Amino acid sequence: MAELPATKVVRLERRGFRMIATIDDPATRNAMTDALVADLFAILEATHDDRSLRALVLQGANGAFCAGANLKGNLARLKADLKLDETDPLFTANRRGGELYAKLNAHPMLVIAIVDGPAFGGGLGLTSCADIVLATPRARFALSETGLGIPPAQIAPYVVARIGLKHARRLALTGARFDGQEGAAIGLVDHFCPRDDDLQAALNAIYENVGRCAPGANATTKRLLLATVGRRPEELTDEAATAFSAALRSEEGREGLAAFLEKRPARWVEKA
């Protein structure tokens, strides 16, 4: 079982097989500051190989999910003197953000985003990298970057993968704001929860389902699903066969087969 990493603007709480990560930076409305990026990297690295965890839940405090880009930090980088042989700090910071989105998108466990407030720009990017998204009536979304004179650069592939090119073009090129209901209509949101009871019921159902899934099999499945993007099925034949045979020969696979034949729950089954 992995130890909880030290974090500055994210509160961590382990509840059974769930890791609850709450972004709590009221001064910036949970913006994508260097501190938040560092915290999220630390969380993803600490939990990457911990198969005692089934779900990583990402949410925001103080009435916001994530307000997006840290404009003050970017302004400071813009004003800094740039030496001729120095890599642009704006490039470095933006690229590090891209590495974070890639790491979150490929994280082996189930990632759940609970949006209960604004999720703008990079916050919508975090949302797009989750496996399951839940939103309340307070949720607000926007690809707001072009209104600031910049493109939604690093989040673009994840937004397109989540909602499709048609909706991504419309939203990115207008900066339009939309709510959780529209988010559900375009595929960004999986569960729109009008009431707090609805949110908890949806979460409980997700936890019950993932509690029946073998954590190692889930990690392999997620990797294979992501590997299908942009590739023909026949290109994955060997990779899929290797993953399947390795899983079935593993302790987890042998236990799953034995449990099926003996008509009993597998040892990994947990209740939330």
Phi, psi of 90, deg, nearest 5: -65, -40
Residue 152 has pLDDT above 80, yes or no: yes
Residue 165 lies in a domain: yes
Residue 28 lies in a domain: yes
CATH number for the domain spanning 94: value is 3.90.226.10
Averaged pLDDT of the chain: 94
Same domain, 112 and 236: no
CB atoms within 10 A of CB 2: 16
- Other CB atoms within a 10 A radius of the CB of residue 32 amount to 26
Per-residue pLDDT reduced to its tens digit, 72-115: 777 777 777 777 777 888 888 999 999 999 999 999 999 999 99
pLDDT digits (tens, 9 = 90+) for 176-216: 999 999 999 999 999 999 999 999 999 999 999 999 999 99
Tell me: pLDDT of 20 over 90. Answer: yes
How many domains does one find in the chain?
2
Count Cα neighbours of 14 within 13 Å in the Cβ-side half-sphere: 14
Sheet with strand 177-179: strands edge to edge:
118-120, 140-142, 177-179
Arithmetic mean of pLDDT, 258-263: 96
94: Cβ contacts below 8 Å, ≥ 6 apart: 153, 154
Pair 184, 49 in one domain = yes
Residues 144 and 233 in one domain: no
Same domain membership, residue 94 and residue 201? yes
Report if residue 5 sits inside a domain.
Answer: no
In this prediction, residues 25-34 reach a mean pLDDT of: 95
Residues 228 and 188 in one domain: no
Q: 175 and 253: one domain?
A: no
User: Are residue 27 and residue 156 in the same domain, yes or no?
Assistant: yes
| Statement to judge: residues 114 and 223 lie in one domain | no
Whether the per-residue pLDDT at 71 is higher than 90: the answer is no
CB 180 within 8 A of CB 139: yes
Q: pLDDT-derived band of residue 161, with 50, 70 and 90 as boundaries?
A: very high
The predicted model gives 47-69 an average pLDDT of 96
230: DSSP letter: T
Opening angle at CA 156, ends 155 and 158, nearest 5: 70
For residue 1, pLDDT over 80 is answered with no
In this structure, the answer to whether residues 224 and 105 fall within a common structural domain is: no
In a domain, 3, yes or no: no
At which of 210, 233, 253 does a domain end? 210
- What are the tens digits of pLDDT across the range 113-135? 999 999 999 999 999 999 999 99
Q: How many residues does the chain have?
A: 272
**Average pLDDT for residues 61-80, to the nearest whole number?**
85
- Domain range spanning residue 246? 215-261
Residue 270 placed within a domain: no
Query: Which is more confident, 3 or 249?
Result: 249
Give the pLDDT score at 87: 82
